Amino acid sequence: MWDWNYTWDILPELIKVVPLTIAITLAGFIIASLLGVPLALARRSKSRWFSIPVTAIADFIRKTPLIIQLSVIVFVLPQLIGLSLPPFFAGVIGLGIHYSTYLSEVYRSGIDAVPKGQWEAATALNFKKLKTWIRIIFPQSIPPTIPVMGNYLIVMFKETPTLSAITVVELLMTAKELGSTSFKYLEALTLVGLIFLALSYPSALIVRAIEKRMQRRGRSVLTK
Amino acid sequence: MIQNIQINLDSNIDLDKALPQPIVRYRNVTKAFGDHVVLKELNLDIMPGEKIALIGPSGSGKTTIARLLMTLERPSSGTIEVNGEMLWHMQHKGKLIAANEKHLHRMRSSIGMVFQHFNLFPHMTILQNVIEGLIQVRKTPKRQAQEKAMELLTQVGLQNHIKHYPSQLSGGQKQRVAIARALVMEPQILLFDEVTSALDPELVGEVLDVIKGIAAKKDTAMLLITHEMDFARDIADRVIFTDGGVIVEQGTPKEIFENPKSPRLQNFLTRFLSDRQSEPYKANKEIAAGNDL
pLDDT in tens, B88-141: 999 888 898 999 999 999 999 999 999 999 999 999 999 999 999 999 999 999
Rounded to two decimals, the pTM is 0.83
Residues from chain B that touch A221, judged by Cβ atoms under 8 A, are 165, 167-168
Q: Which of A124, A127, A135 sits opposite B70 (nearest CB)?
A: A124
Q: Which residues of A touch B (CB under 8 A)?
A: 115, 117-118, 120-121, 123-129, 131, 135-136, 139-140, 221-222, 224
* B130-155: average pLDDT: 95
Mean pLDDT over A83-108 rounds to 94
Mutate to test the interface with A, among B132, B134, B173 (most CBs of A within 10 A): B132
Tell me the average pLDDT across B148-174.
Answer: 94
DSSP assignments along A51-69, one per residue: HHHHHHHHHHHHTS-HHHH
CATH number at residue A183: 1.10.3720.10
Q: Express as a percent the part of chain A with pLDDT over 90.
A: 75
- For A9-13, A78-82, B129-133, B287-291, which range has the lowest pLDDT when averaged over its residues? B287-291
Per-residue pLDDT band at B17 (split at 50, 70, 90): low
* Structural domain for A10, as ranges: 4-223
For the ranges B11-15, B187-191, B196-200, the lowest mean pLDDT is seen at B11-15
- The answer to whether B105 contacts A124, with C-beta atoms less than 8 Å apart, is no
User: In this predicted structure, what is the pLDDT of residue B63?
Assistant: 94
pLDDT digits (tens, 9 = 90+) for A17-56: 999 999 999 999 999 999 999 999 999 988 888 899 999 9
Q: What is the pLDDT of residue B258?
A: 93
Q: Are strands B85-86 and B89-92 parallel, antiparallel or unpaired?
A: unpaired
In chain A, the number of structural domains is 1
pLDDT at res. B58: 86
